[in-house]
């Protein structure tokens, strides 16, 4: 029997209910950079001698424009700080992962020695070394397991685990705590800086539109000779600017 001809108008695939995979955001919101570029171009146009006097008459003074340009520059610096904060956070996260792995590996050596000593002779004591537990389940548990094992090694001797290795566990735990503290500080810094950038861009956008409204009133769209000026202020060519 010949194969059926394909349906030229296939029905759309049913919605699986699974949201599409989100794209990873870049280090900096590109929309912020684009907004600053736009505001800067419009502010520079407002500084031109051909337009400055007319805009001043509409309360867009040279001080207004200069302050706007200075704030745009400051916002760019904040974006640079945001990039640096994010890089610092990523580095701290990586260091935290290394410190955690080092501690887990050291604990696993201790657990192997505990199995060697107690697996056959007294398996109930394996619980003292949290054998069977997932050491990587979460950081608070890992800290507790480590502290308990350090205390246990103060009264129990395992084959191949001298006191120096028990002491080293404490050092590794300190390294982990330090890395996590740095990660938390970096995260806070990155979040604060990003919030500052967002607030700055909102404020700059508001003033940029104020300038555009003034230009729209000064050089209305229905006068064809204003087309070139309106283009410099990024205003619609066939209607009023509405924000």
The DSSP secondary structure of 34-77, one letter per residue, reads HHHHHHHHHHHHHTSHHHHHHHHTTT--HHHHHHHHHHHHHHHH
- Give residues with Cβ within 8 angstroms of 118, minimum separation 6: 124, 125, 126
Whole-Å CA distances, 18 to 12, 15, 91, 208, 214: 16, 8, 33, 40, 47
Residue 80: which of 213, 194, 183 has the closest Cα?
A: 194
Structure letter (DSSP) for residue 158:
B
| pLDDT greater at residue 78 or residue 58 | 58
Per-residue pLDDT tens digits for 171-207? 999 888 888 777 666 566 566 667 788 889 999 999 9
Query: Look-up: residue for tokens 């706007």?
Result: 68
pLDDT value of residue 16: 35
Reading the block at residue 112, the tokens are 């192997």
Residue 85: which of 98, 14, 171, 77 has the closest Cα?
A: 77
Least confident of 1-5, 76-80, 157-161, 233-237: 1-5
- Give residues with Cβ within 8 angstroms of 212, minimum separation 6: 42, 233, 234, 235, 241
Residue 90's pLDDT band (boundaries 50, 70, 90)? low
- Give residues with Cβ within 8 angstroms of 199, minimum separation 6: none
What is the mean pLDDT of the segment spanning 84-95?
58
pLDDT value of residue 85: 58
Residue 166's pLDDT band (boundaries 50, 70, 90)? confident
Per-residue pLDDT tens digits for 9-50? 554 444 433 344 444 444 557 888 899 999 999 999 999 999
Least confident of 86-90, 206-210, 234-238: 86-90
What is the mean pLDDT of the segment spanning 144-166?
93
Structure letter (DSSP) for residue 221:
T
pLDDT value of residue 29: 76
pLDDT value of residue 138: 83
**What does the buried/exposed string (b/e) look like for 218-242 if buried means 16 or more CB atoms within 10 Å of the residue's CB?**
bbebeeeebeebbebbebeeeeebe
pTM: 0.51
pLDDT value of residue 190: 61
What is the mean pLDDT of the segment spanning 60-73?
95
Question: Is 99 within 8 Å of 172 (Cβ atoms)?
Answer: yes
pLDDT value of residue 128: 93
pLDDT for residue 88 is more than 60:
no
């Amino acid at each position: 029997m010949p194969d059926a001809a394909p349906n030229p108008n296939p029905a759309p695939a049913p919605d699986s209910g699974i949201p599409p995979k989100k794209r990873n955001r870049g280090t900096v919101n590109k929309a912020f950079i684009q907004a600053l570029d736009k505001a800067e171009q419009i502010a520079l146009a407002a500084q031109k001698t051909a337009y400055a006097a007319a805009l001043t008459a509409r309360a867009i003074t040279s001080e207004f424009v200069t302050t706007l340009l200075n704030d745009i520059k400051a916002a760019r610096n904040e974006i640079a700080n945001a990039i640096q904060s994010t890089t610092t956070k990523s580095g701290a996260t990586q260091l935290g992962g290394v410190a955690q792995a080092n501690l887990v590996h050291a604990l696993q050596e201790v657990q192997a020695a505990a199995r060697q000593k107690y697996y056959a002779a007294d398996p109930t004591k394996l619980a003292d070394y949290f054998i069977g537990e997932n050491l990587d389940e979460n950081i608070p548990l890992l800290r507790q397991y480590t502290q308990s094992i350090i205390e246990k090694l103060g009264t129990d001797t395992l084959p191949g685990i001298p006191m120096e290795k028990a002491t080293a566990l404490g050092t590794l735990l300190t390294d982990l705590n330090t890395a996590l503290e740095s990660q938390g500080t970096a995260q806070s810094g990155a979040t604060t800086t990003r919030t500052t950038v967002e607030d700055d861009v909102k404020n700059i956008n508001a003033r940029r539109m104020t300038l555009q409204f003034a230009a729209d009133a000064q050089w209305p769209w229905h006068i064809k000779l204003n087309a070139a000026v309106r283009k410099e202020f990024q205003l619609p060519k066939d209607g009023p600017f509405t924000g």
